[in-house]
Structure 1
């Protein structure tokens, strides 16, 4: 790769590092694994940078590679990790300053409990705000599969969050 390509790639990494790590964290549930995942994917993207940079959106390509590599890691993993029990926060005060952080933690734990492919759909569709078509393209699946996986994923998240909150009226949309 020429010097201009190297500089362009460096600028891309600087501009997109944090958003890529955030997406990877939501896919893996671990900051260290997320950074490893991003670095692994960026090595592959770097090798194909001339093609990637001229094919449309390098960010979309890299994000899709993240989701696919994350799914591959999950497939290769033989021993399943289990999350600790999520404590119920039924006694929270209405004006609790930490309630938003607790809720974010509960949502993150619930997302991590989803199967890998469903988690990838939910993360790309709702956290990265991709359209159904873009999510389908990124994951190499049909739009119908994205719709069904997203629907099932939201149902599971709703159920888990209702159980941790102890309130049947909580909704997740």
Structure 2
């Protein structure tokens, strides 16, 4: 498989993973582009891997965590976001709940957020997440447990119901 074929088949999923990691559409596009650029330079290894998706997810997560560490000392994003336009009350509520969840996710530590995204978006098991993050399986379970606990505290019960 060539990189172009991979992007056609899996590009949207990679962008979705990047968005969940960054919480920002523009940053997600940048992360996706950087991931694919890095994958291109190693394409002979990626295409020969037993699971190219896992290889590319690892590049994406590692780049994201690297960016977060680097930006943590320089950049302070604000919580202000432009309102999204909704056409019905149900859509408006759904946008509000997604926005609330996005804000809550953005308040988690980067590794905790990455563990939750890899579990609930990428549908990976503990061992796959541990391999991607370079930690033990027990650490993954701990990150997910604490992350869910923190999310429950940040998103009050009942606020997700319509």
The counterpart of 1:13, out of the listed 3, 7, 15, is 7
Q: Does 1:139 align with 2:119?
A: no
How many residues align structurally? 151
CA deviations on 1:9-63 (whole Å, 9 max, x unpaired) are: 1100111111111111111111111111111111111111111111111111111
Tell me the TM-score normalized by structure 1. Answer: 0.80
Partner of 2:86: none
RMSD (Å) for aligned C-alpha atoms: 2.0
Gap runs ≥5 in structure 2 = 82-88
Q: Does 1:83 align with 2:79?
A: yes
Partner of 1:93: none
Tell me the TM-score normalized by structure 2. Answer: 0.85
The counterpart of 2:110, out of the listed 106, 116, 123, is 116
Gap runs ≥5 in structure 1 = 86-95
Q: What displacement does 1:114 show?
A: 0.7
Asked if the contact 1:122–1:150 (Cα under 8 Å) also holds between the matched residues in 2, the reply is: yes
Alignment of 1:55-134 (within 5 A): 55-77=49-71, 78=73, 79-84=75-80, 96-98=89-91, 99-134=93-128
Asked if the contact 1:26–1:112 (Cα under 8 Å) also holds between the matched residues in 2, the reply is: no
